[in-house]
A = this chain, B = another copy of it.
């Protein structure tokens, strides 16, 4: 199979109808087999508030009780996923929406309660992405579109970090064909100076990353994203690119390689 592109979009695209429409056009125009993973944006928080359910976040992660699980399942796997799939289809991209439960696509393990009980939150199991399902769908010319709702394989849905789903899907895809993972980001890439969009670091490797960290050239908030990207690369993904959604079809951004 040709090179596969796996793209992840987050709230900054999802929360804006105009940004979503621009992204859909660009993603539909991407050549070759491809997959999309989307985050949730602010819609789940808004719906929870309308229903009188308090949204509690710890370190940027949503505490997911039973009611909140229902809300994120409705919003992520229902509304956002189906709107995206419908828009992609209209743009000529034969998309098929998946939660982790569909075709046992992504199996996760409920996170044990420690200092914080995150509730119905899952981390992707070792070998949790169903490579054969991805191969079947890609071979049929379909474009899988994943929400970050996964399943423990025993009937329980689990809220999962969308960046982690994207990385795991890209690692699985790399067993089918060389795979590039693209994280769409609010900024033009990883910046040396967060105030200066022109200070994009073009390439990061494990060696240069150590040097950049020693210099303090990378903001603390970016470190988990780059750590994740380097793990994906170490696990078989050809390269990870961090760039703006608007620049999906252009060169540029930060490329992370092994």
Contacts and interface: CB of A to CB of B under 8 A. Distances in A.
A87 to B, nearest CB: 5
A184 interface: no
Interface string A68-104: 0010011111110111011101110011111101111
Interface in A95-135: 95-99, 101-104, 133
Contacts of A199: none
Given A50-B51, A75-B74, A140-B136, A149 B82 contact: yes
A37 interface: no
**Residue among A81, A101, A142, A149 with most chain B CB within 10 A:** A101
B101 A89 contact: yes
A153 B133 CA distance: 25
A198 B18 CA distance: 59
Contacts of A224: none
B99 A103 contact: no
The size bracket of the interface on A is 35 or more
A157 B83 CA distance: 8
Contacts of A95: 101-103
A86 B50 contact: no
Given A78-B75, A140-B136, A151 B86 contact: yes
A51 B46 CA distance: 11
Contacts of A76: 78
6 contacts: A74-B74, A74-B75, A86-B101, A89-B101, A97-B102, A133-B140
